[in-house]
């Protein structure tokens, strides 16, 4: 296929078969590429930047773009939802734990709807209908202090600290950095092995200084975490096995 770039009337740009939404802004000084949560591609450029320069930059970043698209396909490919039956497995910090359905009372006292105890997740039978909600709440509740500790430990490597750390639903993203300096992490991050969670944390910490994935971003990331490329590759290739598809039960 001949390498071509075609700008369409609706401000999109087709470069070597990839379709980008072209956004120009007088506030931008550099060209940036974003792979959005749904896999759509966004090219951001200064108002006065020549189209040929934008095309050249996009072509130089094609390997990165294809890698990001592959990561999203691997992570969010179709898989069966959890059924919340005894023996089903759920991950926490890289380890797999079997689920056990239990009665609501233990020694005459009510127990939590969901808990991790003695190497198993225990889910009350009478709460199975809301099991998905309980698992998300558990991952948020237990993920926050673990991730906050890692942020505190790793922030010195980067030389930046976030205003706030949140663990919540983020759609297709592992993490995000807001313009206000807040770091957000997907609740499912806590399902991954610790060294991979640390990569996600360092990645977002670097964004506090370098907003875009330019050369400076990757250089700073490598200084803070020399083996980041191996961890990044592992995340792209293996994360789908660790993230549960939760439903209401």
User: Is the pLDDT assigned to residue 8 strictly greater than 90?
Assistant: no
Give the pLDDT band of residue 73 (cuts 50, 70, 90).
low
pLDDT tens column, 152-162? 999 999 999 99
H or E segment to which residue 204 belongs: helix 194-207
Q: What are the domain boundaries of the chain? A: 5-62, 130-241
**φ, ψ at 230 (rounded to 5°):** -65, -40
pTM score, two decimals? 0.73
Q: Hey, is 107 helix, strand or coil?
A: coil
Rg (alpha carbons) of the chain, rounded to whole number: 21
Burial class (CB in 10 A: 0-12, 13-18, 19+), 215: exposed
Percent residues over pLDDT 90 in the chain = 57
Mean pLDDT is highest, among 3-12, 142-151, 154-163, for 142-151
The region of weakest confidence among 2-11, 30-39, 89-98, 237-246 is: 2-11
pLDDT tens column, 205-215? 999 999 887 78
pLDDT at residue 6, rounded to an integer: 45
The average pLDDT across 131-140 equals: 96
- Bigger pLDDT: 241 vs 222: 222
Burial class (CB in 10 A: 0-12, 13-18, 19+), 32: middle
Right CATH for 130-241 from 3.30.2010.10, 3.30.9.10, 3.30.1050.10, 3.30.2020.10: 3.30.2010.10
pLDDT at residue 153, rounded to an integer: 94
Q: What is the mean pLDDT of the chain?
A: 88
Interacting residues of 120 by C-beta distance below 8 A, sequence separation 6+: 97, 98, 99, 100
- Bigger pLDDT: 8 vs 84: 84
pLDDT at residue 7, rounded to an integer: 43
User: Is the pLDDT assigned to residue 3 strictly greater than 50?
Assistant: no
Interacting residues of 63 by C-beta distance below 8 A, sequence separation 6+: none
Interacting residues of 32 by C-beta distance below 8 A, sequence separation 6+: 43, 44, 45, 212, 213, 214
């Amino acid at each position: 296929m001949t390498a071509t770039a075609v700008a369409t009337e609706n401000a999109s740009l087709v470069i070597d078969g990839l379709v980008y939404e072209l956004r120009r802004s007088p506030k931008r000084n550099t060209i940036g590429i974003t792979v959005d949560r749904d896999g759509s591609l966004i090219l951001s450029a200064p108002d006065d930047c020549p189209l040929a320069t934008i095309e050249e930059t996009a072509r130089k970043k094609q390997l990165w773009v294809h890698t990001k698209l592959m990561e999203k396909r691997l992570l969010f490919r179709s898989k069966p939802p959890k059924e919340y039956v005894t023996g089903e497995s759920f991950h926490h910090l890289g380890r797999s734990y079997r689920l056990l359905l239990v009665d609501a009372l233990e020694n005459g006292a009510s127990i939590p709807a969901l808990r991790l105890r003695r190497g198993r997740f225990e889910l009350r039978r009478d709460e199975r209908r809301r099991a998905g909600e309980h698992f998300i709440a558990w991952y948020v509740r237990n993920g926050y202090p673990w991730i906050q500790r890692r942020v505190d430990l790793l922030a010195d490597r980067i030389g930046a600290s976030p205003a706030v750390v949140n663990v919540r639903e983020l759609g297709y993203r592992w993490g995000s950095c807001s313009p206000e300096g807040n770091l957000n992490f997907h609740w499912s991050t806590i399902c991954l092995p610790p060294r991979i969670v640390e990569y996600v944390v360092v990645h977002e910490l670097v964004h506090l200084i370098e907003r875009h994935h330019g050369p400076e971003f990757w250089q700073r990331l490598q200084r803070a975490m020399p083996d980041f490329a191996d961890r990044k590759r592992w995340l792209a290739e293996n994360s789908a096995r660790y993230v549960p598809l939760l439903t209401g039960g």
